[in-house]
Chains A and B, each alone.
Chain A
């Protein structure tokens, strides 16, 4: 029987069920107890749930690395006059006569950005939850291609290893900023990090993009083809809509970054001049002419801007889901929420040059991009209002996931609003590349995406591991982080309005930037404490996997399909037939219903007392 077949055949058998809702005898035998080697179960697994956990844990490790790097450079920024001999055991030769090497400082900010944006908030966030939730919430036995899904993780893994190795090489990791603008990133003469470190960065990112594309193709295919019976697009949970559109953005945007990286590799190694022109450096005039560094920026930001929505949209989707579940209310304006996701996705491709208002780009183009950029505020505003309306007259349970979701809304508003300043070209003249920008994006895409990630982990942990994360530790984690984030990034706006440039090793050389030494110290202390608070979560996570309180099948009394699976779903997710879907995912507190939630798989014929007039026909 099927129970004796190797893992691979089973998953394919499961995924091959394109007509769900029909009972297949072989699947009734699926359970966790069949024979599986350690390697195929935990390492080279093709099961979407295991791959999701692999992404999550790798992402957490990366987040600790990224956070450590930021603590190191915040030390320098808070105490620019101090010496850091005590860091010598960790940093070795990068501490020169007690001072942090300025080039290594730049490497720290570069790697912090790269790691957080790509490895944590792209791979760690959407890699985890797209993988985990898409099959479970649409009613599929696995991803369309389990094998490609496995490849997606292992490409990410190799890319991670290469990026991690680059931290330790002699000339240091890439140091040209996470945006790796050439010529700085193209010329080792300009900064040592642009030598081997940059090569490894580019190789790692190329593999990372392969991983993203393998994952993205899979997510899109799965959502389009493997939805269970009755699961029309207009019955999808908002999480799935968000993951679906995120995957489309990634599929369209990442190849452009790939091309930029490829051209940069050519410029670095094969003597081409795509991005180089008229350069005299290190006592030598280079032969390159005719290239344009600005071309690189266009290519980079054509990915780079959709990228911030790739980071934030999965968080938006999960937050919508969690807010509705824990307010015991339907998400307000389900269709408007989908519409605004579509609007954001579309617009995200035509706003990239707002990162380039003062690069010397034609001012007319600047006007066009200012117009398009400020339009994107409208769907974002609609989403915010709808979240607020979802809370209104709810019956709110403050689970840790709910706290982080409310925190997400707060941070998204706080960070999103200042985008209106930066999207205005006339105001961007002063604010470009200052700490105002740093504060803006750390709130709107950094912290709030992290909050979405935390919310997701607290909410779906019971389905991942069959146990709960400790709620009290979750509360402590939330309040320390929420307060910490505001203490770091609100004052940072003041520093930015005063014009402090980003990526400065110290501001002590300028009288113009001398007034905020104390405030910078304050920000550094808050940042480092907030970082340490994250270890509460790390402890909670690993402790609860083994010793957490046991969960029930549907601990949050939620409506979506993943909660109809066993406590820990095995291969193929449902032991019997895949449930068919009859209703939208947000039937919470429906008048006339016995309970305050009606799962998606309950037919209207069983809920006659609560059916709305137009639903009567569907009984």
Chain B
């Protein structure tokens, strides 16, 4: 019944619009405005441009100020402060250009609207002006490119040697996290070894993987450089950590990386935002399928001491999954019995690293 009512109202509205439209045509024929090349509507449109500029500009300014606080995710990394500064500097320059060009566009439209008897100014070109307004954007661009290039090179440069290393692996539809353990070396993984328990595809015949541990969330120490190693085991994903201004694709078959230095612990950020439930979040930012929009991982920034405490409590994957380890031992033993001389040499560096 209501559907029928709505349809009826819509049909009536269409009829009203249709009648108005015909009426408009007839009146314009009778008033003779169809024969004039430029009618009253020219003036109306010119005025509308000015109204659009003033009302639209005011609405834009108001909505921008109103939403400004919500727009900026609080910054929690060293390079984040630099890029944020550059972003808003660029935006100010763009804002000035936007405002000036739009004032010219709308004011010219109004001011030079058609007037009987006036003739437009024949002004086909002027080399001097054209050179000037080619050079000005070129110079501004050069400045922006230079600043951007410097920052980009610093951000993507090699990570400091003492950086904390961890690995994030994307899969449909969650993230897996792996730490290198005490030896600071991530062990070998192989996608062919992946199964329900061995989600990373640990190759435990590699000694440096024995102390690797997996974690349900990311922990990183405050004020210490962190090197994220990123991989994917199925389709493209992207590690996106808006508070740290970090983003990098996770590509199957091609490990990627990104390093950054967190500047505020989770607790500090909770105090700053006044939100006791605040958490740093990692989002997937490359379309990956049904669960793309829910591919979330929490990040905890600890004080360095807390981080060490958390780290030392973790149990390695091999320790937690003795079955998986055992199956690799069988394989390795078979290999070892064949070539007994090689393992002896390999054990020494592994033992050193585990100290």
Which residues on A are within 8 Å of B, measured CB to CB? Answer: 102-103, 106, 176-177, 181, 183-184, 187, 190-191, 276-281, 285, 289-294, 327-336, 358-360, 363, 366-367, 370-371, 374-375, 377-378, 381-382, 384-386, 388-389, 391-398, 403, 406, 409-410, 413-414, 417-418, 420-421, 424-427, 429-430, 432-434, 470-473, 475, 479, 482-483, 486, 490-491, 494, 497-499, 501, 503-507, 509-513, 515-516, 519, 549, 557, 586, 588-591, 596
In Å, the complex CA distance between A479 and B296 comes to 42
Of B28, B73, B102, B149, the contact of A370 (CB 8 Å cutoff)? B149
Tell me whether B45 is interfacial, beta carbon within 8 Å.
yes
Say whether B83 contacts A385, CB under 8 Å: no
Chain A residues near B285 (CB-CB < 8 A) = 432-434, 501
Of B125, B172, B292, the contact of A332 (CB 8 Å cutoff)? B125
Say whether A510 contacts B281, CB under 8 Å: yes
Of A410, A420, A519, A586, the contact of B144 (CB 8 Å cutoff)? A420
In Å, the complex CA distance between A475 and B113 comes to 16
In Å, the complex CA distance between A506 and B118 comes to 56
Nearest Cβ distance between residue A337 and chain B, in whole angstroms?
10
Q: List 26 A-B contacts (CB under 8 A).
A: A106-B289, A183-B252, A281-B234, A293-B252, A336-B125, A358-B248, A360-B230, A374-B141, A388-B105, A391-B105, A391-B112, A393-B120, A393-B121, A396-B46, A396-B113, A398-B46, A420-B144, A421-B90, A427-B86, A429-B155, A430-B247, A432-B238, A501-B283, A504-B293, A511-B277, A512-B73
Chain A residues near B234 (CB-CB < 8 A) = 183, 187, 190, 279-281
Say yes or no: A393-B123 contact (C-beta < 8 A), given A503-B287, A510-B296. Answer: yes
Say yes or no: A497-B52 contact (C-beta < 8 A), given A176-B287, A374-B145, A432-B247. Answer: no
Say whether B289 contacts A190, CB under 8 Å: yes
Say whether A426 contacts B98, CB under 8 Å: no
In Å, the complex CA distance between A394 and B157 comes to 53
Closest to B298 in A: A511
Q: A103-B290, A501-B240 are in contact. List 11 more A-B contacts (CB 8 A).
A: A280-B191, A294-B254, A367-B153, A378-B138, A396-B112, A406-B109, A424-B90, A432-B247, A434-B285, A499-B240, A549-B34
In Å, the complex CA distance between A183 and B288 comes to 9
In Å, the complex CA distance between A427 and B240 comes to 14
Tell me whether B38 is interfacial, beta carbon within 8 Å.
yes
Say whether A389 contacts B123, CB under 8 Å: yes
Of B113, B141, B277, the contact of A375 (CB 8 Å cutoff)? B141
Instruction: Determine the interface band of chain B, counting residues with CB < 8 A from chain A.
Output: 35 or more
Tell me whether B161 is interfacial, beta carbon within 8 Å.
no
Tell me whether B224 is interfacial, beta carbon within 8 Å.
no
In Å, the complex CA distance between A403 and B254 comes to 50
Tell me whether B286 is interfacial, beta carbon within 8 Å.
yes
Nearest Cβ distance between residue A341 and chain B, in whole angstroms?
14
Tell me whether B312 is interfacial, beta carbon within 8 Å.
no
Interface centre among B124, B233, B281 (most CB of A within 10 A): B124
Closest to B93 in A: A420
Say yes or no: A409-B120 contact (C-beta < 8 A), given A359-B249, A426-B152. Answer: no
Tell me whether B56 is interfacial, beta carbon within 8 Å.
yes
Nearest Cβ distance between residue B17 and chain A, in whole angstroms?
9
Closest to B134 in A: A382
Say whether B112 contacts A424, CB under 8 Å: no
In Å, the complex CA distance between A398 and B40 comes to 10
Say yes or no: A397-B148 contact (C-beta < 8 A), given A389-B129, A596-B120. Answer: no
Chain A residues near B289 (CB-CB < 8 A) = 103, 106, 184, 190-191
Say whether A360 contacts B248, CB under 8 Å: yes
Closest to A281 in B: B234
Nearest Cβ distance between residue B247 and chain A, in whole angstroms?
5
Chain B residues near A334 (CB-CB < 8 A) = 124-125
In Å, the complex CA distance between A344 and B171 comes to 40
Interface centre among A285, A374, A391, A512 (most CB of B within 10 A): A512
Say whether B83 contacts A417, CB under 8 Å: no
Chain A residues near B46 (CB-CB < 8 A) = 396, 398
Of B101, B125, B126, B296, the contact of A384 (CB 8 Å cutoff)? B101
Tell me whether B325 is interfacial, beta carbon within 8 Å.
no
Say whether B130 contacts A333, CB under 8 Å: yes
Tell me whether B242 is interfacial, beta carbon within 8 Å.
yes
Please provide the 3 A-B residue pairs with the shortest distance between their CB atoms, ordered closest to farther.
A277-B253, A360-B256, A363-B156
Tell me whether B291 is interfacial, beta carbon within 8 Å.
yes
Chain A residues near B38 (CB-CB < 8 A) = 397
In Å, the complex CA distance between A430 and B76 comes to 13
Chain B residues near A472 (CB-CB < 8 A) = 24, 28, 41
Say whether A420 contacts B73, CB under 8 Å: no
Chain B residues near A106 (CB-CB < 8 A) = 287, 289-290, 292
Chain B residues near A103 (CB-CB < 8 A) = 289-290
Chain B residues near A418 (CB-CB < 8 A) = 94
Say whether A398 contacts B45, CB under 8 Å: yes
In Å, the complex CA distance between A409 and B233 comes to 45
In Å, the complex CA distance between A420 and B24 comes to 45
Nearest Cβ distance between residue A610 and chain B, in whole angstroms?
9
Say whether B251 contacts A359, CB under 8 Å: yes
Chain A residues near B109 (CB-CB < 8 A) = 391, 396, 398, 406
Say whether B121 contacts A281, CB under 8 Å: no
Chain A residues near B278 (CB-CB < 8 A) = 511
Tell me whether B70 is interfacial, beta carbon within 8 Å.
yes
Would you give the 0/1 interface string for B131-150, flagging 1 where the beta carbon is closer than 8 Å to chain A?
00110011001001100110
Closest to A513 in B: B283
Tell me whether B97 is interfacial, beta carbon within 8 Å.
yes
Tell me whether B182 is interfacial, beta carbon within 8 Å.
no
In Å, the complex CA distance between A62 and B61 comes to 36
In Å, the complex CA distance between A504 and B235 comes to 17
Chain A residues near B42 (CB-CB < 8 A) = 396-398
Closest to A393 in B: B121
Tell me whether B279 is interfacial, beta carbon within 8 Å.
yes
Chain B residues near A509 (CB-CB < 8 A) = 293-294, 296
In Å, the complex CA distance between A261 and B17 comes to 47
Say whether A398 contacts B108, CB under 8 Å: no
Tell me whether B246 is interfacial, beta carbon within 8 Å.
yes
Say whether B277 contacts A329, CB under 8 Å: no
Of A417, A433, A511, the contact of B238 (CB 8 Å cutoff)? A433
Nearest Cβ distance between residue A158 and chain B, in whole angstroms?
28
Say whether B101 contacts A360, CB under 8 Å: no
Tell me whether B331 is interfacial, beta carbon within 8 Å.
no
Say whether A512 contacts B281, CB under 8 Å: yes
Of B71, B83, B242, B245, the contact of A512 (CB 8 Å cutoff)? B242
In Å, the complex CA distance between A418 and B249 comes to 23
Closest to A506 in B: B293
Say whether B130 contacts A336, CB under 8 Å: yes
Chain A residues near B60 (CB-CB < 8 A) = 490
In Å, the complex CA distance between A374 and B97 comes to 16
Say yes or no: A397-B83 contact (C-beta < 8 A), given A277-B252, A596-B119. Answer: no
Nearest Cβ distance between residue A428 and chain B, in whole angstroms?
8
